[in-house]
């Protein structure tokens, strides 16, 4: 299966074409130029052709140290990684001097290049296609990524490329093309996951989302984990705009790690694009198994950090807290103080691992990996019904439930309904009268006694007797 990189100036429709070829709205699309900044990969399909496609940032002439310059360097790296490039120009704007500059760069690289003239609806598109011959990249392919026009001509060109690369056609059309990212607008409900322990494998990698405030170092951390400058980084806040997933083998463990846009306070988010970026990051949280909340050691536990941790808990995801820039911390006992502060501010995540790291230096990554894997195992842990009921008996004997109106509330039976996150059902006499303080007491006991620190716990209440009591009596009679 070959790899194709889509390149071109900003706002020529690269992400729209990417979404069409992968068959889902994976990439953010907006009228303003420069929306895409990182490299986004997807499994594309056109007819009976299947291939990997890379969406890239718009090519701009800029100083190498600037943000556009670093984006351009990342795009040129994608060209080197791919088997071929699809150079996209805008029929409505015509062939601009920048197009000629970048076409020359692609020729000098010796890369295999296909030329697509996007937004080529009507007579204007035909004129632009004729003009595109002067780029010297072969026959232009007029297309409309938005309306799906010209896909037949694009298929013909890609099929010829496949033959040139000596790539065989698949024996039959694939129906299980796996995308590397979440679809924009897709409802991803973790509660729909099968109630089973899923071992990590190449087919089912661990799903990890890295979240945090802008400029906390999320992209730098992921680059350090994968050992490659795969994601765009820099001193500017808010570089990452959409949730990018990266497949990696982290010290022998297959993982899919989602880099997300930095999330500010809702009141400060006014631009449409930033709202789209934040929504994309929130979907990544829903899709993850473990959420790594990355804090800045200089300013830990700001309001937005706490909201992100609370969001992950409410979504039922295992949480690991990584404290970045730890190499700058010199105070003795700082980690102990931070742990106490975290548990005070977020008691619902008491015991969640706090791991000091330095993304820039690549320090603390082994401990972070171990914490992520432990959190994932706890998140899908199952406790036998016998152990749960022995535990419930001891808890109610040592700390009896309250007796409103002089009548003791009886907790009769307990079982685990599901995992991911651990969810338990307790059958009792008057659940509506049981105070929240006693419910929290039981949740804290579950977390402590079954080693579920940092894992969201769901405790549901049902009125009635032990649902299996009658069955046990019937078995004795027979």
Annotated binding site for GTP: 8-15, 55-59, 118-121, 212-219, 259-263, 324-327
In this structure, what DSSP letter does residue 178 have?
P
Q: Is 101 strand, coil or helix?
A: helix
* Strand (E) or helix (H) holding 90: strand 84-90
Edge-first strand listing for the sheet containing 423-428: 411-418, 423-428, 458-463
| Lookup: tokens for 312 | 């992950």
Q: How many angstroms separate the CA atoms of 26 and 181, rounded? A: 6
Backbone angles phi, psi at 346, to 5 degrees: -130, 75
Cis amide bond preceding 421, omega within 30? yes
What do you get for the CA distance between the two ends of the chain, in Å? Answer: 63
Task: Assess contact for 144 and 118: CB atoms under 8 A.
Answer: yes
| Lookup: tokens for 431 | 């659940």
The count of C-alpha atoms lying within 13 angstroms of the C-alpha of 83, restricted to the half-sphere facing its C-beta, is 15
**135: number of Cβ within 10 Å:** 20
**For residue 272, what are the contacts with CB-CB under 8 A and spacing of at least 6?**
30
In this structure, what DSSP letter does residue 114 have?
E
Annotated binding site: 8-15, 55-59, 118-121, 212-219, 259-263, 324-327
Q: Is 183 strand, coil or helix?
A: coil
How do 423-428 and 411-418 pair as beta strands? antiparallel
- The torsion angle over the Cα atoms of residues 153, 75, 357 and 371, rounded to 10 degrees, is 10
**138: number of Cβ within 10 Å:** 14
Task: Assess contact for 460 and 421: CB atoms under 8 A.
Answer: no
């Amino acid at each position: 299966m070959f790899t194709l990189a889509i390149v071109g100036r900003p706002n020529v429709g690269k992400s729209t074409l990417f979404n069409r070829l992968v068959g889902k709205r994976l990439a953010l699309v907006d009228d303003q130029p420069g929306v895409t900044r990182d490299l986004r990969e997807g499994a594309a399909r056109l007819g009976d052709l299947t291939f990997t496609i890379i969406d890239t940032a718009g090519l701009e002439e800029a100083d190498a140290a600037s943000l556009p310059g670093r984006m351009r360097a990342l795009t040129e790296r994608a060209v080197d990684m791919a088997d071929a490039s699809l150079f996209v120009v805008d029929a409505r704007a015509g062939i601009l001097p920048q197009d000629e500059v970048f076409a020359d760069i692609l020729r000098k690289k010796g890369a295999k290049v296909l030329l697509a003239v996007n937004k080529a609806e009507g007579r204007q598109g035909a004129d632009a296609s004729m003009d595109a011959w002067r780029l010297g990249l072969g026959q232009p392919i007029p297309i409309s990524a938005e309306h799906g026009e010209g896909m037949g001509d694009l298929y013909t060109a890609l099929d010829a490329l496949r033959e040139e690369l000596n790539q065989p056609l698949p024996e039959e059309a694939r129906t299980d093309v796996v995308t590397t990212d979440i679809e924009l607008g897709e409802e991803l409900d973790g509660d729909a996951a099968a109630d089973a322990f899923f071992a990590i494998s190449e087919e089912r990698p661990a799903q990890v989302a890295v979240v945090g405030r802008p400029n906390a170092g999320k992209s730098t951390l992921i680059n350090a984990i994968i050992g490659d400058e795969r994601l765009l980084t820099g001193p500017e806040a808010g570089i990452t705009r959409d949730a990018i997933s990266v497949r990696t083998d982290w010290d022998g463990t297959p993982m899919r790690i989602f880099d997300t846009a930095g999330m500010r306070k809702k009141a400060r988010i006014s631009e449409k694009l930033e709202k789209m970026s934040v929504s994309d990051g929130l979907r990544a949280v829903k899709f993850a198994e473990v959420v790594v909340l990355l804090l800045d050691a200089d300013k830990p536990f700001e309001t937005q950090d706490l909201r992100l941790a609370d969001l992950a808990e409410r979504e039922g995801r295992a949480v690991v807290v990584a404290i970045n820039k730890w190499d700058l911390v010199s105070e003795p006992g700082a980690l102990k103080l931070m742990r106490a502060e975290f548990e005070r501010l977020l008691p619902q995540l008491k015991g969640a691992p706090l791991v000091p790291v330095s993304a820039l230096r690549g320090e603390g990554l082994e401990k972070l990996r171990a914490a992520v894997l432990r959190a994932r195992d706890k998140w899908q842990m199952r406790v036998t019904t016998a152990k749960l009921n022995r535990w419930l008996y001891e808890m109610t004997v040592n700390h009896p439930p309250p007796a409103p109106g002089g009548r003791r509330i009886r907790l009769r039976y307990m079982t685990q309904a599901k995992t991911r996150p651990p969810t338990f059902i307790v059958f009792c006499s008057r659940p509506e009268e049981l105070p929240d303080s006693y419910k929290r007491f039981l949740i804290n006991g579950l977390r402590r006694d079954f080693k579920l620190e940092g894992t969201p716990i769901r405790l549901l209440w049902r009125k009635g007797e032990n649902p299996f009591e009658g069955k046990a009596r019937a078995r004795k009679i027979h």
